[in-house]
């Protein structure tokens, strides 16, 4: 039943990407996010699933669409958990920067961690370094393990981090150990994904970012054979209480990939919005034709598909038939 969803989910991220692309470079990230969210929800509700959003745009009173707990689908078919980020990289779209994507993950009911909207410490690596990195290890130890696993010298290892003040000490540790740093402004799901593709030159993602994005990253890396280790980082007693409310008894526990995604039968899909390292962005080629590039993968089989889409928008007035 899950296998039959792969192409349907590609349609969902395609629709979100096309809708958000209308706002590239216009400086309005809120409108871009709203457009992507509306399109994603519209397509989801034409798919035969009984879905529940476990990672979404916020709570019901914060997000009118794709909120945590929202039901998606026709009400027929497979019962699934859904994690979504209709526009990963809102600032990138607003400024016309690279690597914005529409992403989602689907897994059997109860398989995805219901991650609170808070910080999470993360390390992601590709297939060669799977099982070699740990949050308890020092930065130098992790870098040495990644270098050994990939057959590189440590000065050839590249670590991607969000360009935030909270990472300044880690950046210094990486450079002191002899490795190289690649800073990004937004979009750590895409950065985690890039560790699984040698052509990107990225060997490891490190740092503190959003926990919901961590669950999406874990599904992606499970599908692609990589590894993801993490730990929630609540910053207040209220956030600790929120963890407990969402069923996380020990927020300080190190979470391995199987803690975040408790099923091998998970699917990840991503469509590029702006130009990117892995996926080209939405392109307008004239004559009301739009092209997209989508990656969709399934953990159970390890199958990864890259889909080139060519969309005649005059035949899809509301993106309902994307």
Instruction: Confirm whether 285 is domain-assigned.
Output: yes
User: Domain containing 79: what range?
Assistant: 4-109+266-319
**In terms of domains, do 148 and 256 share one?**
yes
Centre a 10 Å sphere on the Cβ of residue 283 and count the other Cβ atoms it contains.
14
265 is in an annotated binding site: no
Instruction: Confirm whether 114 is domain-assigned.
Output: no
Report the mean per-residue pLDDT for the chain: 93
Question: Cα angle at 51 between 50 and 55, to 5 degrees?
Answer: 170
145 is in an annotated binding site: no
165 is in an annotated binding site: yes
The token pair that represents 10 in the structure block: 């590609």
Taking the model in full, what pTM does it have?
0.93
259 is in an annotated binding site: no
Q: What CATH number does residue 279 fall under?
A: 3.30.540.10
**In terms of domains, do 53 and 161 share one?**
no
Rounded Cα gap, residues 288 and 273, in angstroms: 17
Residue 320 has pLDDT above 80, yes or no: no
Mean pLDDT over 174-201 rounds to 95
Residue 93 has pLDDT above 90, yes or no: yes
**In terms of domains, do 103 and 199 share one?**
no
**In terms of domains, do 243 and 272 share one?**
no
**In terms of domains, do 208 and 304 share one?**
no
**In terms of domains, do 30 and 102 share one?**
yes
Mean pLDDT over 38-61 rounds to 88
- State percent of the chain over pLDDT 70: 95
Domain count, the chain: 2
Instruction: Confirm whether 197 is domain-assigned.
Output: yes
Mean pLDDT over 315-321 rounds to 53
The answer to whether 93 and 273 have CB atoms below 8 angstroms apart is yes
258 is in an annotated binding site: no
48 is in an annotated binding site: no
Pairing between β-strand 49-55 and β-strand 78-88 as defined by DSSP bridges: parallel
Any idea which of 49-53, 122-126, 212-216, 315-319 has the lowest mean pLDDT? Answer: 315-319
70 is in an annotated binding site: no
Rounded Cα gap, residues 216 and 237, in angstroms: 25
61 is in an annotated binding site: no
Single out the residue of 174, 75, 161, 81 nearest to residue 122, CA to CA.
161
Centre a 10 Å sphere on the Cβ of residue 310 and count the other Cβ atoms it contains.
10
Q: What CATH number does residue 131 fall under?
A: 3.40.190.90
75 is in an annotated binding site: no
Residue 264 — left, alpha, or beta (φ > 0 → left; ψ -120 to 50 → alpha)?
A: alpha
């Amino acid at each position: 039943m899950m296998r039959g969803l792969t192409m349907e989910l590609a349609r969902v991220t395609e629709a979100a990407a096309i809708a958000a692309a209308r706002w590239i470079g216009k400086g309005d990230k809120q409108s871009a996010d709203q457009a992507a969210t509306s399109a994603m929800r519209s397509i989801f509700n034409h798919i035969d699933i009984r879905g529940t959003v476990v990672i979404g745009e916020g709570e019901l009173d914060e997000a009118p669409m794709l909120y945590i707990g929202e039901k998606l689908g026709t009400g027929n078919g497979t019962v699934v958990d859904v994690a979504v980020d209709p526009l990963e990289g809102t600032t990138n779209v607003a400024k016309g920067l690279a690597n914005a994507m529409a992403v989602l993950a689907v897994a059997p009911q109860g398989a995805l961690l219901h991650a609170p909207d808070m910080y999470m410490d993360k390390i992601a690596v590709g297939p060669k370094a799977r099982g070699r990195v740990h949050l308890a290890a020092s930065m130098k130890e992790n870098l040495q393990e990644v270098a050994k696993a990939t057959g590189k010298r440590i000065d050839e290892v590249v670590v991607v981090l969000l360009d935030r003040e909270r990472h300044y000490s880690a950046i210094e540790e990486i450079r002191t150990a002899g490795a190289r740093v690649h800073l990004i402004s937004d979009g750590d799901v895409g950065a985690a994904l890039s560790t699984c593709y040698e052509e990107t030159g990225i060997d490891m993602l490190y740092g503190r970012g959003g926990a919901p994005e961590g669950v999406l990253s874990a599904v992606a890396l499970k599908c692609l054979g990589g590894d993801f280790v993490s730990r929630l980082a609540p910053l207040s007693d209220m956030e600790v209480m929120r963890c407990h409310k969402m069923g996380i008894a020990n927020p300080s526990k190190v979470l391995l990939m199987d803690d975040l995604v408790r099923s091998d039968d998970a699917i990840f899909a991503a469509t590029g919005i702006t130009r990117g390292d892995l996926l080209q962005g939405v392109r307008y080629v004239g004559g009301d034709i739009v092209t997209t590039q989508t990656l969709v993968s399934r953990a159970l089989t390890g199958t990864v598909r890259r889909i080139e889409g060519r969309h005649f928008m005059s035949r899809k007035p509301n993106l309902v038939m994307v």
